[in-house]
A and B are shown apart, each in its own frame.
Chain A
């Protein structure tokens, strides 16, 4: 009898009793999917950042590891508290005190900004030409842009030494062509750094620009011309404003790594170029001052992240206004 009633139980009741469990399960599953990227960020970005931040609040010491205090599980909660009391912002004050760091930050940002602008100047026409090329050769052009990634970054930067040095390929060629009489001093100047950064990061500029330009409806240009707009003016009034998302993405992708760039200024810029990446390297490996180096890194991160957050908020607000 009970068996029979169980069988004849209305379907709605059955689904109601099964429903909540199923919903909870699917909710957990869908949460889990979102959790994975957060977990990734937590483990590979936030946790290392917390460690760096903690080190930046520590004091340098001649020990292993070279800073104090060191948290350990054996100390227990009271020991933990004792250690926390030892932390201070002294390293950050030190950064403010010594103009070396300030100058390094400024010069990094300036060099990165100039390089980014130059990369935009070189990359935009490339991306434009690619976007307007017949679709049959577009893939080949795209391949050519990506191709340099197949060789080591370090080797490519070394190759530039061979090109730029006083007796290098460029000077030899220019002297052979009769353009100059004595070799140009390009190595160990800012110019060499610009060349190095523009060369190395150009694909990061070209690819997002290409993506936006390729999507653009070129009948808009025809419409602008039809309404009396000469081609160059049509570029500035239509093409460029519409490609701004690509310009911004490309510039950020070049600017951010360029600010912290170490290899290029070290190899091409010579000893007298001041860039924060080099300063960081010196603090870590030259002075073995991990706390100050960590403070330098944290400040660098803030310099990059804060303007980006403002930018994103402004963009979100302007998008909302459009609705």
Chain B
């Protein structure tokens, strides 16, 4: 069985037509004065899903999250949570909790009191609150910091307090606004997996806003790529990476080579593209590209082979000149300048310590790739 990104998954309610979405944005628009932050957006999120909203700053992802939390009201459209319209429900009555980007820990309260805050609001009995707080402290491994104030904690500890506080009430949905943004790289990587484990253990629905694609790729079941208040694509990380639906998404996530051209012929699901450089590219998964259409052939650098001689068996091969070489240790990235001046990036995994076919600057080189190595983008 073939699968994108070589990941086999069993949790995929979005493929099940019977499944009812848990959170549903229906034609939601939000304007601030003249500025449209969210533009006629529709999006479904399923129960127990780890959903990521990914986009550059100002793309409307935070606004979307704040509308779900109740801090902003949509200018038009509806937001449903578990079938219930959230319009008119103030933030303090919504069964969602949010972890703020700044953590927003109450500086005059101890770690314990911060975590207990939401529980006290619910009028939970004292003994039960103490029990839940202890449980939360254990969950985030901060037992010995219960009596500390936020300013006496490190950034990573504060992040965990904020997390404990936001899950203490067992919300139906946890919203995380750039949850790892303030942590350094090492801590961020460790915390990503902690968050995923936590989400699994508690069985919550997570909606996380991030501008860090690696973070989104690692953690999320599905990612929504946003741009200018619109969702460009909603798909699993592997689909986003291997089968982007548009030039924007392909370019936004990871590194990509975009070869512009025109479809000359189509045979079943295969097309031949005449590139602007004059090269013929034959592609197997053509999507909806019709003959005569202007398309882009998008291919990731790691799917391109670089050789000094023309490979005999390759379906697609182009000649160029080695323009730049970046040696990164685990891999080497070649920049190959093609005949028409376009520079193509190709990365090669350094699986052997000694290369049999060494290339250097200004060498003639051939790039080659399989017919299913890239995708045809019409948008």
Q: Please, which residues of chain B bring their CB within 8 A of the CB of A229?
A: 92, 117, 121
Q: Please, which residues of chain A bring their CB within 8 A of the CB of B96?
A: 226
**A222-B91, A238-B106, A242-B107 given; A227·B165 CB < 8 A:** yes
Q: Is A220 an interface residue (CB 8 A)?
A: yes
Residue of B102, B108, B165 touching A217 (CB-CB under 8 A): B102
Complex alpha-carbon distance, A237 and B117, angstroms: 10
Contact bitstring B82-112, A, C-beta under 8 A = 1, else 0: 0000000011110011101010111110000
Contact bitstring B50-78, A, C-beta under 8 A = 1, else 0: 00000000000000000001110000000
Q: Is B122 an interface residue (CB 8 A)?
A: yes
Q: Please, which residues of chain A bring their CB within 8 A of the CB of B105?
A: 223
Query: Are B100 and A228 touching (Cβ within 8 A)?
Result: no
Complex alpha-carbon distance, A217 and B93, angstroms: 22
Residue of B91, B102, B108 touching A226 (CB-CB under 8 A): B91
Contact bitstring B229-265, A, C-beta under 8 A = 1, else 0: 0000000000000000000000000000000000000
Chain A nearest CB from B251 CB (Å) reads 33
Query: Are A228 and B104 touching (Cβ within 8 A)?
Result: no
Contact bitstring B159-199, A, C-beta under 8 A = 1, else 0: 00000011001000000000000000000000000000000
Q: Is A322 an interface residue (CB 8 A)?
A: yes
Complex alpha-carbon distance, A322 and B96, angstroms: 33
Residue of A223, A228, A238 touching B169 (CB-CB under 8 A): A228
Residue of A219, A226, A237 touching B92 (CB-CB under 8 A): A226
Q: Please, which residues of chain A bring their CB within 8 A of the CB of B90?
A: 225, 230
Query: Are B91 and A219 touching (Cβ within 8 A)?
Result: no
Chain B nearest CB from A214 CB (Å) reads 16
Q: Please, which residues of chain B bring their CB within 8 A of the CB of A238?
A: 106
Query: Are A228 and B149 touching (Cβ within 8 A)?
Result: no
Query: Are A225 and B104 touching (Cβ within 8 A)?
Result: no
Q: Is A304 an interface residue (CB 8 A)?
A: no
Query: Are A226 and B69 touching (Cβ within 8 A)?
Result: yes
Please give the number of chain B residues whose Cβ is less than 8 angstroms from any Cβ of chain A in the complex. 26
Query: Are A223 and B149 touching (Cβ within 8 A)?
Result: no
Chain A nearest CB from B323 CB (Å) reads 48
Complex alpha-carbon distance, A231 and B104, angstroms: 16
Query: Are A322 and B149 touching (Cβ within 8 A)?
Result: yes
Chain A nearest CB from B339 CB (Å) reads 55
Q: Is B13 an interface residue (CB 8 A)?
A: no
Complex alpha-carbon distance, A217 and B108, angstroms: 13
Q: Is B118 an interface residue (CB 8 A)?
A: yes
Chain A nearest CB from B175 CB (Å) reads 9
Complex alpha-carbon distance, A230 and B91, angstroms: 9
Chain A nearest CB from B33 CB (Å) reads 12
Task: Kindly identify, within residues 180 to 236 of chain A, every residue whose CB is under 8 Å from any CB belonging to chain B.
Answer: 217, 219-220, 222-231, 233
Q: Please, which residues of chain B bring their CB within 8 A of the CB of A227?
A: 92, 97, 117-118, 121, 165-166, 169
**A226-B98, A227-B117 given; A220·B104 CB < 8 A:** yes
Nearest to A220 among chain B residues (CB) is: B104
Q: Please, which residues of chain B bring their CB within 8 A of the CB of A224?
A: 106, 117
Q: Please, which residues of chain A bring their CB within 8 A of the CB of B169?
A: 227-228
**A227-B169, A228-B169 given; A222·B121 CB < 8 A:** no
Chain B nearest CB from A280 CB (Å) reads 41
Q: Is A48 an interface residue (CB 8 A)?
A: no
Q: Is A241 an interface residue (CB 8 A)?
A: yes
Residue of A222, A230, A237, A322 touching B100 (CB-CB under 8 A): A222
Q: Please, which residues of chain A bring their CB within 8 A of the CB of B100?
A: 219, 222-223
Q: Please, which residues of chain B bring their CB within 8 A of the CB of A230?
A: 90, 92
Query: Are B71 and A222 touching (Cβ within 8 A)?
Result: yes
Looking at B69, B90, B121, the one whose CB has the most chain A CB atoms below 10 A away is B121
Q: Please, which residues of chain B bring their CB within 8 A of the CB of A222?
A: 69, 71, 91, 98, 100, 104
Query: Are B92 and A225 touching (Cβ within 8 A)?
Result: yes
Complex alpha-carbon distance, A233 and B122, angstroms: 13
Chain B nearest CB from A176 CB (Å) reads 43
Task: Kindly identify, within residues 107 to 142 of chain B, every residue whose CB is under 8 Å from any CB belonging to chain A.
Answer: 107-108, 117-118, 121-122
Q: Please, which residues of chain A bring their CB within 8 A of the CB of B93?
A: 228
Complex alpha-carbon distance, A289 and B96, angstroms: 72
9 smallest A-B Cβ distances: which pairs?
Answer: A227-B118, A228-B121, A223-B104, A219-B104, A225-B91, A225-B92, A226-B98, A228-B92, A241-B108
What is A's interface to B at a CB cutoff of 8 Å?
217, 219-220, 222-231, 233, 237-238, 241-242, 322
Can you report 21 A-B residue pairs in the complex whose CB atoms are below 8 A from each other?
A: A220-B106, A222-B69, A222-B71, A222-B91, A222-B98, A223-B105, A225-B90, A225-B91, A225-B92, A226-B69, A226-B96, A226-B97, A226-B98, A227-B97, A228-B92, A228-B118, A228-B169, A230-B90, A237-B117, A238-B106, A241-B108
Besides A226-B91, A228-B169, 19 other A-B contacts (C-beta < 8 A): A219-B100, A219-B104, A222-B91, A222-B104, A223-B100, A223-B104, A223-B105, A224-B117, A225-B70, A226-B166, A227-B92, A227-B166, A228-B118, A228-B122, A229-B92, A231-B92, A242-B107, A242-B108, A322-B152
